[in-house]
Structure formats: C-alpha cells, structure tokens
Amino acid sequence: MSDVNYKQIIADGLWNNNAGLVQLLGLCPLLAVTNNAVNGLGLGLATLVTLLISNGSVSFSRHWVSREIRIPFYVMVIAANVTVVDLLMNAYLHNLHNVLGIFIPLIVTNCAIIARAEAFASKNEIIPSIVDGFMMGLGFLVLLVVLGGMREVIGSGTLFANASVMFGDAAQGLTMQVFDKDYPGFLLAILPPGAFLGLGLIIALKNIIDDRLETKRIAKRQQEKAAAEAASKVIGGVPASE
Amino acid sequence: MANDNLKAIWRAGSMLAFFALVGVVLLVVVQWLTKDQIAENARLMKLQRLHEIVSAADYNNDLLASAQTLPLSIEGLADTAKKYTASKSGTAIADIYEVTSLQGYSGPISLVIGINADNSLRGVRVISHKETPGLGDKIETSKDDWILQFAGKSLQNPELNRWKVRKDGGDFDQFTGATITPRAVVNAVREVLSINE
C-alpha cells in the first residue's frame, strides 16, 4: 500500500492517540512501576518490543486468521511473546528483571497491545503495522520515563538513580543529583497516589497544549478567510452574498 | 449448509491449533536457550546476598550446597528458615540464616543474619521488604547505616532483656517516624540468636 500515512501513524502514536495519555490503556503497569525513571524506561522498552513483535506477527498472519478466532489468536501471540521477553530479560537483564518483577508478565494484560492488534495490525500491511507498534510503544515509553522522572525528582531529588541496574556499572555516571543531598524527599510522589496525581497533571498539560494549538489553528483559519474575503471584495467590487 | 458450517469451524480450529503449536515451539526454544543463564543468575544472586555477610575470601566450602531448611515456630517469623554454614578448611566460620519477619509495617521483611562461631553477630542485611520509602526503608544499607550496628553484638551484649528497640525499653534506636520496622528487625535478630545457641 502506497497510501499509508506514516506522518499520521507517528503523530497518533506519540501524541494524538498516545496509549497512556489519551486511550488511558495499560494504567496498571504505568502507575505501578513509575516511581523512578529507570523503571519506567525498563518497562517502556519491554512494552515497546512486545508491541513491535505482536503487531508484526498479527499483520503477517492476518489473511489466514478468520474473524471468529482472531481474539484468541491475539491473546496467544501476545502471551507467547511477552513470555519470550520475560525469559530473555530474566537471562540477560537480571537486575532489572528483579526490580520490575511481576509487571513484565503483566504486559500481557496491557490492553494497548491487543487494541493495536485489533484496530491497526489486523487491517494493515506488515511494515505500517510495525511502524505503528513502534510509535505506540515509543509514546508509551516516553510517558513512562517522564512520569517516572517527575516522581523521582520530586520524591527523592535524583534522576536516573539505579541506572546501573539496567545498563551495567558504566552507567553510574548517568545518575543526576537534581536537588542537593539533604533534600528530604516528598514522599507522596513516590507512593501510589503520586502516580495518579502525576499522570493527571501530565494529561492536563497535554490538554492545555492541544487547546492552545486548536485556538491558534482556528484563529489562523479565520484570518485566512477574512483575507480571502477582503481580496474578493477588492477584485470583484461586489460584496459577497450572505 | 450444516456441512459448510462444520467446515468453517474445522478450519478455524485447526488454524488456531497450528498457531498454538508455533507458539509452543517458540517458547520451548527460548526457554531452552535461556535456562542455564537464568539458573546461573539465580545462583549468583543468592551468593551475592551471602557475600554481604561472609566475603568470598573468608571461606572455601560450597556455601550454597550447605543449605539446610529449618522449621521454625516462633511468633513473628515465617515458619521456615534457611541455614548456610561457611567454613574454611573444615573449621566452621559462621552460620548464615535466611529468615522472614512477619512483623513488618507493610509486608514481610526478609533478612540474612550471620552468626560467628563464637555466637556473636557477624552482620545483618535486608534482602527484601515493602516498608514505606523514606521511613521504614532506612533498614537498607544504601539508605542508612542503622543495620550495621548489629555486627559484634550477641545475646550477652546487650543483655537479653535489652534486646529491643528503645521504645520497648531496649538498647536499639528506632528511626524517627518508624518504630515498627526496626522492632521487627531487632526481634528477628534476637530470635535467631536464641535458636543458634
């Protein structure tokens, strides 16, 4: 298909239809693991990989899977590849796997993944489906890192603490002390309510930005319209009819 | 008509079965590829915990193989514990207990407690806990030195009736804002010292 609008896919995944911010899917892991940026990044990456593979395989096999069995088929594809990701992380990213614990297998229950399978991958070619999976996953990942980072900075005054859990000892330098060492930490941000408050604030911020953009767009359209009308008056010399 | 239906069901069913088979094969292969690495990781994790108490240079037996499971019936502790014995060239150096206290503020607290051959404490570390961040989590070495104070203590030092947090009339400091967590740890250490004697 040559008429795939990649720009649209990218904009949807990252912003307009962001899995966490707009569809509000996958809230369970999103709220639970984001008490620091590294956890958010870890779960975000795992979700991203899962989305990529599941979108790819659903799209690849969409002609053989009839409508009646598509839901069990998606569940199977997603469960199998989450298990694969879980095993691989357990083997090669053991420390991070320990930190994220139960939330890796729980990616299976992240509705964002089955939603993309049904809404996009089952109707589109394989390449656009993979791009869609990547962009949706990336949008989710960025949200997880932003929310995690926000809670970490407010809650404990650091950013990317424990980066070594994920990237090995070389990454120790990544840790930033945002506030000074004596910062007592704002406990609420790290505790579960902080996740809800943080997510709420980010959604509010997104809505404000969208509102601003929309107002600007309308203003611009009106301006253009007015300019066009003015031009037609000058050229035609006859007032435009109502 | 009925025949057509049957055909469609048959077709869908076998398709699903086929994909299930593909999934199973994939999982078996990945599991087979990763299982050694995962077992090795688990082994290293365990050793790493024990090495917090006894450094690798201090013993030369197979620490993990020395594990024994002990049944416990002590109030406030989970009903099984693990005991490892570190020895060097046949001489016992220390016993290391893995116990779980059920008296935590928000869930069990797992501890490793090392006891020297002379019944003094070699050290205590927390393996896992769910205590409140910023308050109860000062039992972690990365947050506070509190847990290091146990090294060298024994049932004679302080006296058994002083083996409590200060609030309960004992010798051990609680932290500001958290009494329950240190109490759980102090009690667990005391009980383990008692069973070791």
Q: What is the mean pLDDT of residues A183-212?
A: 88
pLDDT at A149: 92
Same domain, B15 and B97: no
- A115 at the B interface (CB within 8 A)? no
Q: Model's pTM, two decimal places?
A: 0.77
Query: A104, A89 in Cβ contact below 8 A?
Result: yes
> Residue range A205-230: average pLDDT?
90
Partners of A76 on chain B (C-beta within 8 Å) are: 16, 19-20, 23
Last residue of a domain, one of B17, B35, B51: B51
More confident residue, A182 or B96: B96
Task: Check whether residue B32 and residue B125 sit in a common domain.
Answer: no
Contact A140, A15 (CB under 8 A): no
Count of domains in chain B? 2
CB A42 within 8 A of CB A100: yes
Which residue in A54, A82, A48, A53 sits closest to A70, CA to CA?
A: A54
Q: What is the dihedral of CA A158, A159, A164, A167, to 10 degrees?
A: 180
- pLDDT-derived band at A236 (thresholds 50, 70, 90) equals low
Low-confidence ranges of chain B (pLDDT < 50): none
SS3 A17: coil
Token pair of A153 as six digits = 């900075």
- A80 near B CB under 8 A: yes
- DSSP 8-state class, residue B157: B
User: Closest to A84 (Cβ–Cβ): which among B8, B27, B135?
Assistant: B27
Token duo for residue B17? 């079965």
pLDDT at residue A175 is higher than 80:
no
Beta carbons of A80 and B26 less than 8 angstroms apart: yes
Q: Is the peptide bond before A184 cis (omega within 30 degrees of 0)?
A: no
> What residues form DSSP beta bridges with A159?
A176
Q: Are both B45 and B92 inside the same structural domain?
A: no
Chain A CB within 8 Å of residue B134 CB:
yes
Residue of chain B whose alpha carbon sits nearest to that of A161: B142
Decide if A83 and B20 are in contact by the 8 Å CB cutoff. no
Q: How confident is the model at residue A192 (pLDDT cuts 50, 70, 90)?
A: confident
Selection from A160, A157, A162, A148 nearest residue B134 by Cα: A157
Residue to mutate among A60, A90, A96, with most B CBs inside 10 A, is A90
Structure tokens belonging to residue A9: 């896919």
How many CB pairs below 8 Å do chains A and B form together? 65
Average pLDDT score, chain A: 85
Do B143 and B157 touch, CB atoms closer than 8 A? no
Identify whether residues B79 and B129 lie together within a single domain.
yes
Residue A240, classed as helix, strand or coil, is coil
Confidence of residue A170 (pLDDT cuts 50, 70, 90): low
Nearest to B23 among A76, A91, A191 (CB): A76
Q: Which of B75, B81, B53 is nearest to B187 (CA)?
A: B75
- B103: alpha, beta or left, given left = phi > 0 and alpha = psi -120 to 50? alpha
**Is A241 a residue whose pLDDT tops 60?**
no
Contacts of B38 in chain A (CB under 8 A): 87, 90-91, 94
Into how many domains does chain A fold? Answer: 1
According to the model, what pLDDT value does residue A235 have? 64
Question: CA-to-CA distance for A49 and A39, rounded, in angstroms?
Answer: 16
B157 forms bridges with which residues in the sheet? B154
Q: Identify whether residues B44 and B74 lie together within a single domain.
A: no
Peptide bond before residue A72 is cis, with ω within 30 degrees of 0: no
Dihedral angle over CA of A24, A29, A33, A37, nearest 10: -50
Question: Is the pLDDT confidence value at A150 over 70?
Answer: yes
Question: pLDDT by residue (tens digit) across A53-94?
Answer: 999 999 998 888 888 888 899 999 999 989 999 999 899 888
Answer yes or no: do B80 and B14 share one domain: no
Instruction: Give the domain extent around A113.
Output: 6-204
Supply the pLDDT for residue A242: 46
Tokens matching residue A100: 């994220």
Q: Are residue B32 and residue B83 in the same domain, yes or no?
A: no
Q: How far is B27 from chain A (nearest CA, A)?
A: 6
Percent of chain A with pLDDT over 90: 33
- Integer Cα distance of A198 and A155 in angstroms: 11
Q: How far is CA B191 from CA A39, A90, A172, B112, B185, in A?
A: 36, 35, 38, 13, 10
* Same domain as B38, residue B113: no
φ and ψ at B97, to 5 degrees?
-105, 140
Query: Which residues are registered as beta bridge partners of B126?
Result: B111
Q: Which chain B residues touch A94 with a CB distance below 8 Å?
A: 38, 41, 45
Do B71 and B29 share a structural domain? Answer: no
Return the pLDDT at B98: 92
Distance between CA A10 and CA A17 in Å, rounded?
A: 10
Query: Which of chain A's residues have a Cβ under 8 Å away from the Cβ of B31?
Result: 87
**B173 and B97, same domain (yes or no):** yes
Same domain, B140 and B190: yes
Write the DSSP symbol of residue A72: H
Cα-based angle B135, B141, B146 (whole degrees, multiple of 5): 65
Over residues A121-127, the mean pLDDT reads 90
Residue A129 lies in a domain: yes
Interchain contact, B38 vs A87, CB within 8 Å: yes
pLDDT tens, B82-126?
A: 999 998 888 888 999 999 999 999 889 999 999 998 899 999 999
* Domain-embedded: residue A196: yes
Segment A215-233 mean pLDDT: 87
**Contact status of A172 with chain B (Cβ, < 8 Å):** no
Domain span including residue B42: 1-51
Asked whether B176 and B166 are in contact (CB, 8 A), the reply is no
Quick check: is A231 in a domain?
no
Q: B118 and B190: one domain?
A: yes
Distance of residue B32 Cα from the nearest chain A Cα, in angstroms = 10
